[in-house]
Chains A and B, each alone.
Chain A
Amino acid sequence: MRTKPKVLWLQAVTCNGNTHSLLCANPNRLELFFNSFDLIYHPSLTTNSNLLDIINSKIKIDYLLIEGAITSNTKFFSIHNHSVKDLLAQLVLQSKFIISVGSCASYGGIHKKFELNKDISGVKKSIDKKVLQKLKHAVINLTGCPVHPEWILQTMFILKAQGKISLDEENRPIEIYSTLAHHGCTRNEYFEWKVESKTFGTKEGCLFYDQGCRGPMTKSSCNKILWNEVNSKTRAGVPCIGCTETDFPRENMLETKKHIGIPFETPLGISKRAYLSITGVAKTFRIDRLRTKLIPDE
């Protein structure tokens, strides 16, 4: 019988959100994952080995998945009295593929905003440059807060089947991060005609103009690969907060930054002149169908 590829899940400075996300994957897909891979260590799951045993044994790890930001400051975070940066350095030498799971592991995420600890970074930045240059495979970033469970599973299955995966300029799998959160949004007709949503949680209206939605400038497949297979933030009536982009988290995320009523940022790749040409015209039309409730109040 062929041995299954070994997977180790390291938790660094994290809220545990990506673990929660993984465990909320489609049960059939999660079962397939456990049948296809040998999860030798995860701090939230029962495994046969502990982390230090694995490091000391120098056992080869096929997939090192890291959740959370990296720091060398043991005052704020340590495992077995070791800094997570030191542990990561050991594990990297034992691993074939290194995957940052979530925004914190990818580039520091929200922990980078913590002013009392300046020594916070993502996985790639925390790996010694010489070691980084010798890696056979680039560090893969699965950005998102949290990352969608299916994005983790798809990445793992592609790597297992093909031994490689195409990445974008942020080292994210292109297949998953090539489209915008805007693509597949059920509010696109409201976006086209500039009909704004007045509050959260409604079925009608676009969340881009007032409520800070980052869907048109965020690379993410949230509206193609739905959460829990049924929904997304924008479908539920709250704006995309752009959590897969490296400028996340931003300030005032639930407001659209505007000057003289005109959005400061335009959809990705669209010049301000092109955007204003279209929206300036659209705004002057009144489409009554888009201004009435889809399901009338009783």
Chain B
Amino acid sequence: MKMSVGNMYNYFSSKEELAKYAIKYSTRIVASELREVNNMKISSKEKIFIFTRRYFENVKKSPEIVEYFLRVYLSNREVFSNGCEGFLCVGDFVTEVMILLEEGATNQEFREQDFFTAFSMFMGALGGFAFLSGENVLEKDLLEYSDGIAENIYRALKYED
């Protein structure tokens, strides 16, 4: 960033404030991607496939953003306990996931289930795979797994007669 550590504190009153800003910043990037996909006139299944690919492209292009989410935000909850509780700092993205799931269920592409079980299928798969990518244990390029992961997410959510 070509900025001294001391200079950072001209903009952020503490490390915690910087950490909170960083998570809001990275969340908005992912939320913006999903909002764009949500606004497309396509099926919910196609939305899952497109968003999964875009998410993995972001992981490849800016791994530090997802790394920050996984290794700082999720692992240091005490840093975020004041003013960033619950969904407060990630609300933009959670809202878009809600819209994706609710519209899918309204159109009977997705089956009815509890929001959090559906949410975990979606975010668990994406987050978990980004973690594997960060650990460099994947045998193939990350994007080659995109459709497979999207298919798994879709099957976990899809409507059944």
Please state if B115 and A261 are interface contacts (CB–CB under 8 Å).
Answer: yes
CB distance from A130 to the nearest CB of B (A): 44
* Contact partners of A280 in chain B: CB under 8 A: 87, 91, 94-95, 98
* Contact partners of A277 in chain B: CB under 8 A: 91-92, 95
Please state if B115 and A273 are interface contacts (CB–CB under 8 Å).
Answer: no
Is A259 on the interface with B (CB-CB < 8 A)?
A: yes
Q: Which of B16-24, B54-62, B104-112, B146-154 contacts the other chain?
A: B104-112
A37-61 interface mask toward B, CB cutoff 8 Å, 1 = contact, 0 = none?
Answer: 0000000000000000000000000
Given the known inter-chain contacts A259-B105, A260-B112, A262-B115, please indicate yes or no for A284 contacting B99, CB distance below 8 A: no
**How many Å lie between the Cα of A284 and that of B105 in the bound state?**
22
Interface residues on A, range: 10 to 19
* Contact partners of B88 in chain A: CB under 8 A: 281, 284
**How many Å lie between the Cα of A11 and that of B15 in the bound state?**
73
Please state if B102 and A260 are interface contacts (CB–CB under 8 Å).
Answer: yes
Interface residues on B, range: 20 to 34
Please state if A259 and B112 are interface contacts (CB–CB under 8 Å).
Answer: yes
Is B141 on the interface with A (CB-CB < 8 A)?
A: no
Is A114 on the interface with B (CB-CB < 8 A)?
A: no
Is B10 on the interface with A (CB-CB < 8 A)?
A: no
A10-51 interface mask toward B, CB cutoff 8 Å, 1 = contact, 0 = none?
Answer: 000000000000000000000000000000000000000000
Is B113 on the interface with A (CB-CB < 8 A)?
A: yes
Is B6 on the interface with A (CB-CB < 8 A)?
A: no
Please state if B110 and A260 are interface contacts (CB–CB under 8 Å).
Answer: yes
Please state if B87 and A264 are interface contacts (CB–CB under 8 Å).
Answer: no
Q: Which of B103-126 contact A (CB under 8 A)?
A: 104-106, 110, 112-116, 118
26 contacts between A and B (CB under 8 A): A259-B101, A259-B112, A260-B102, A260-B105, A260-B110, A260-B115, A261-B116, A262-B98, A262-B102, A264-B106, A272-B102, A273-B95, A276-B95, A276-B98, A276-B99, A277-B91, A277-B95, A280-B91, A280-B94, A280-B98, A281-B86, A281-B87, A283-B86, A284-B85, A284-B87, A285-B86
